[in-house]
């Protein structure tokens, strides 16, 4: 599969190129925090939007930290938008609105030296649940050795989506290594022949992406609905979106330029 770019770091502000030239004239600054899966898409969409007439009046500040951080931040009024790659939880504060902006394919990744090309649901649960601990017991593995399971931290929407989509009632292996971002999982798997993890579709450079249930984790299968590992991506607002935020979300969902941007690595809203 063709390599994709990496976006690393916790709570890292989007480069000044995005916000500073516009911020000086901006009437509104939209502050955003949360999902490391949504952040690359949000950044691309913000850069494109500020080149439009409506967007020229808006500045952006985009931080990361995980979906739970974004949901908490917007609920507490710390940011305008919380980015989330998970669906709403019963424990989320009341009044939040999860505005879907796109979908993402969640992919199982192994190191190219190992290169497992297909996982069944049972094998995913066996490997990530710690029932199978040696690669020699995994069909398609090129070598044996202890399996190094790499997962996201509990605050991650990707972790939440992985558990719901892939794991069912199976608990994740307690000895798994936890990483705070998609990019860090990507790096860990790319650098360790014994590693296995999962990443959003835009974080696949340097790793081998496996089919799941015989279906490739690619955009064509995700867009058609055939790939069973897709999940929605959200901009979370405290109450219904209004003003500049509502205009931006509407632009993301309907504007041809925005839809084309989303189609690069994600499944557009339409």
Q: What confidence tens digit (pLDDT) does each residue in 32-74 have?
A: 999 999 999 999 999 999 999 999 999 999 999 999 999 999 9
Spatial contact of 71 and 96, defined as CB atoms under 8 Å apart? yes
CATH tag, 105-224: 3.40.190.10
The pLDDT profile of the chain, 270 residues, written as one tens digit per residue, is 444 443 333 333 343 334 434 344 547 999 999 999 999 999 999 999 999 999 999 999 999 999 999 999 999 999 999 999 999 999 999 999 999 999 999 999 999 999 899 999 999 999 999 999 999 999 999 989 999 999 999 989 999 999 999 999 999 999 999 999 999 999 999 999 999 999 999 999 999 999 999 999 999 999 999 999 999 999 999 999 999 999 999 999 999 999 999 999 999 997
Give the separation between CA 175 and CA 172, rounded to whole angstroms. Answer: 9
Domain locations in the chain as residue ranges: 16-103+232-268, 105-224
Quick one: 140 exposed, middle or buried, by C-beta within 10 A (0-12, 13-18, 19+)?
Answer: middle
Same CATH topology for 16-103+232-268 and 105-224: the answer is: yes
Q: Residue 201 forms beta bridges with which residues?
A: none
Q: Residue 3 forms beta bridges with which residues?
A: none
CATH tag, 16-103+232-268: 3.40.190.10
Give the separation between CA 125 and CA 194, rounded to whole angstroms. Answer: 17
* Nearest one of 31, 48, 43 to 258, comparing CA atoms: 48
Give the separation between CA 32 and CA 231, rounded to whole angstroms. Answer: 20
């Amino acid at each position: 599969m063709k390599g994709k770019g990496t976006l690393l770091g916790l709570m890292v502000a989007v480069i000044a190129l995005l916000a500073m030239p516009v911020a000086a004239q901006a009437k509104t600054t939209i502050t955003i925090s949360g999902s490391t899966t949504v952040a690359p898409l949000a950044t691309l969409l913000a850069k494109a939007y500020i080149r439009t007439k409506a967007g020229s009046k808006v500045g952006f500040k985009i931080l990361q930290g995980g979906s739970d951080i974004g949901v908490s931040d917007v609920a507490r009024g710390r940011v305008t938008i919380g980015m989330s790659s998970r669906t709403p939880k019963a424990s989320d504060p009341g009044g939040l609105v999860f505005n879907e902006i796109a979908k993402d394919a969640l992919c199982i990744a192994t190191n190219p030296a190992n290169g497992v090309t297909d996982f069944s649901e049972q094998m995913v649960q066996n490997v990530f649940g710690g029932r199978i601990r040696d690669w020699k017991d995994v069909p398609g593995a090129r070598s044996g050795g202890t399996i190094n399971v790499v997962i996201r931290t509990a605050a991650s929407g990707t972790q939440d989506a992985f558990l719901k989509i892939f794991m069912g009632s199976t608990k994740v292996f307690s000895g798994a290594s936890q990483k705070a971002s998609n990019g860090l999982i990507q790096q860990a798997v790319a650098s360790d022949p014994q590693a296995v993890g999962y990443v959003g579709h835009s974080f696949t450079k340097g790793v081998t992406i496996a089919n799941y249930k015989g279906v490739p984790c690619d955009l064509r299968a995700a867009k058609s609905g055939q790939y069973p590992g897709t999940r929605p991506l959200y901009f979370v607002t405290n109450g219904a979106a209004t003003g500049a935020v509502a205009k931006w979300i509407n632009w993301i969902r309907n504007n041809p330029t925005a839809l084309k941007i989303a189609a690069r690595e994600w499944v557009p809203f339409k």
